[in-house]
Amino acid sequence: MRLFFRLVFSILLGAVGGAVFYYFDMPLAWMLGAMTITTIAALAGAPVTLHMPLRLSMTAVLGTLLGSAFTPQILQQLQNWSAGALTIAIFVTAMTGLSVFFLRRIGGMDRATAFFSGTPGGLGEMTLVGELHGGDPRTIALVHAIRIFVVVFLLPLFLAGMADLDIPNTARVLAGRPAAEGSELAILAACAVIGYILGQKLPLPGSQVFIPMMVSAAAYLAGLVEGRPPAELIFVAQVIIGSAIGARFVGLDLRATAKPIVLGVISALGMLALAAAFAYVVAPLLGLPMYALLLALSPGGLAEMSLIALALDVDTAFVATMHLVRIMLIVTLAPIFFRAMDWKTAKN
């Protein structure tokens, strides 16, 4: 019962933060507001909590929402996606190398901790694998959590401000398509449930989002559903996912963890700057929209970056798919590469 009240408190607190950001017309208000206020509350010792079953359920809902981006027209763009996937692979390799070098040489981390902290993706997976290879799991998890917070917070502000991108209100984005009703809502609910069950059973990176997205996409491509998901679901998804990010910082001692926090912030800023520069140069060469490629390259979490793309109406299907490619590459190849470097569990 105590966990229930803490969970309700966290969601309500996130909703308040989202409402405040919405009132001041901030970009992606419901997620950034929820993330900001719950982070402040967590650092202040308030009883906020991260409830993984609820977050996983919401990621299944998010995956179902993302599936709505896979319209028949999207099939005409698939030829550009292979170039995007290759770009992701090259960029992830370069970004990981620079980040690991910074954390190792400048930050003074041991090899395993620096390597698995510097890989831009897979917070849970990299923490577990890094610990198995001799890294400090608390530092690895903290650096990844800082990376996600910094990227998710700053990227919408960058797009709205410095990049001068017109970021519409989510309701205005969705207004161009009629809302799903009746039988279509029932089909989407079934997609979410089926996707959630399959996502739990299939041990694939990002399966909690990817499987529901594919199930929902199949329904849209088959013509079983045409209406958009209800706008209210996107607002709820933003609040819960934003609150979950903030709740990761519960119990954090700022004085004891100051160094990895600073290193994580600098590393995240460097990754984001590199993504912006890379997107600016490469997007015209590949014939891809710059902002879509920037969202695809930015090293935030899969759910968070997909939700940003969905809320901003920026090539959601492409962005979500490219982040799945990024995470699968990192989770699959990072341990292999670490062993190939013959670092093993060495500390120095």
Is residue 49's pLDDT more than 70? yes
Is residue 188's pLDDT more than 50? yes
Question: DSSP states of 218-240 as a string?
Answer: HHHHTTS--SBPPHHHHHHHHHH
- State the pLDDT at residue 270: 95
pLDDT in tens, 52-84: 677 778 888 888 888 888 877 666 666 667 888
Is residue 108's pLDDT more than 90? yes
Q: Which residue's entry shows tokens 């529901």?
A: 212
Pair 46, 35: CB distance under 8 Å = no
Pair 232, 117: CB distance under 8 Å = no
Q: Within a domain: residue 345?
A: no
Global pTM?
A: 0.82
Q: How many residues does the chain have?
A: 348
Supply 340's token pair. 């190939």
Is residue 117's pLDDT more than 90? yes
For 176, phi then psi, to 5°, come to -75, -15
Lowest mean per-residue pLDDT among 15-24, 28-37, 228-237, 253-262: 228-237
Interatomic CA distance for residues 322 and 275, integer angstroms: 13
Domain that holds residue 278: 2-340
Q: What is the mean pLDDT of residues 287-308?
A: 86
Of the candidates 240, 221, 180, 242, the residue with the CA atom closest to the CA atom of residue 67: 221
CATH code of the domain in which 77 resides: 1.20.1530
Pair 68, 228: CB distance under 8 Å = yes
- State the pLDDT at residue 237: 82
Which residue would you say has higher pLDDT here, 40 or 210?
Answer: 40
Which residue would you say has higher pLDDT here, 46 or 80?
Answer: 46
- State the pLDDT at residue 52: 67
pLDDT in tens, 204-215: 777 888 899 899
Q: What is the mean pLDDT of residues 91-111?
A: 93
Output DSSP code: residue 178.
P
Give the CA distances from residue 136 to residues 98, 141, 260, in Å, rounded to whole numbers and listed in that order. Answer: 20, 9, 11
Which residue would you say has higher pLDDT here, 275 or 27?
Answer: 275
pLDDT in tens, 125-162: 788 888 888 899 989 999 999 999 999 899 888 877 65
- State the pLDDT at residue 62: 82
Interatomic CA distance for residues 66 and 61, integer angstroms: 9
Mean pLDDT, all residues of the chain: 84
- State the pLDDT at residue 16: 95
Which residue would you say has higher pLDDT here, 130 or 311?
Answer: 130
Q: Within a domain: residue 74?
A: yes
Q: Within a domain: residue 185?
A: yes
- State the pLDDT at residue 341: 75
Pair 92, 120: CB distance under 8 Å = yes
Which residue would you say has higher pLDDT here, 193 or 170?
Answer: 193
Is residue 170's pLDDT more than 70? no
| Number of independent structural domains in the chain | 1
- State the pLDDT at residue 273: 93
Q: Within a domain: residue 347?
A: no
Q: Within a domain: residue 62?
A: yes
Share of the chain above pLDDT 70, in %: 90
- State the pLDDT at residue 171: 45
Q: Within a domain: residue 348?
A: no
Q: Within a domain: residue 346?
A: no
Maximum average pLDDT range among 19-33, 106-120, 244-258: 106-120
Share of the chain above pLDDT 90, in %: 32
Q: What is the mean pLDDT of residues 247-260?
A: 88
